[in-house]
Amino acid sequence: MDLETFSKYGGMNRVINYDVCIGCYTCEEVCSFIHEGSGYIKLYDIGGGLNKPISCFHCAKAPCITACPTGAMHKDKDGAVLVDISKCIGCSACLAACPFGIPEIIPPGFATKCDLCNPLRTEGLTPGCVSMCPTRAIVWGTTAEVARELRVRALKKLIYKPVV
């Protein structure tokens, strides 16, 4: 697969395995630390005191990119959806287009969102939330690597059922 196709239709992926997540806030805290107080993965109480994280899914066919009138929303070589703040006009088209409501408009009037720790990735490191998750609930890799890891985990659940 050539680099253009890899970047446009997948690239690297980050998936949160909600069955494994314990809602410990580690991902939110490390993201906030790395981004100097602006965390882009956030936990929400989904009922009964159960907290689960949500962040940009870096969609293969990202509607925020299609909706952005200035081209500020774009994909990098790994397939991460990024915001070029020099092009962003703060119109909220990306927010309206995102099915998860992820982009935020912040002062002085531009969109911001998860960049999959772009500075870390340029150094060959994984995003902070992935590295620090104590339960390995956040899976990172190529589409094939992520799919394989999730399949192996599913099989282990099927095969290694606890004896009661």
Buried b / exposed e along 95-133 (16+ C-beta atoms within 10 A): bebbeeebbeeeeeebbbbbbbbeebbeeeebbbbbebb
pLDDT tens digit string along 9-68? Answer: 557 899 999 999 999 999 999 999 999 999 999 999 999 999 999 999 999 999 999 999
> What is the per-residue pLDDT for 8?
46
| pLDDT greater than 90 at residue 160 | no
| pLDDT greater than 50 at residue 91 | yes
DSSP secondary structure, 16-59, as one string: E-TTT----SHHHHHHHHHTTT--SSEEEE-STT-EEEE-----
Extract the tokens encoding 74. 């774009």
| pLDDT greater than 60 at residue 3 | no
pLDDT tens digit string along 125-159? Answer: 999 999 999 999 999 999 899 999 999 998 988 88
Domains of the chain and CATH, by start:
3-159 (3.30.70.20)
Residue with tokens 């960049």: 115
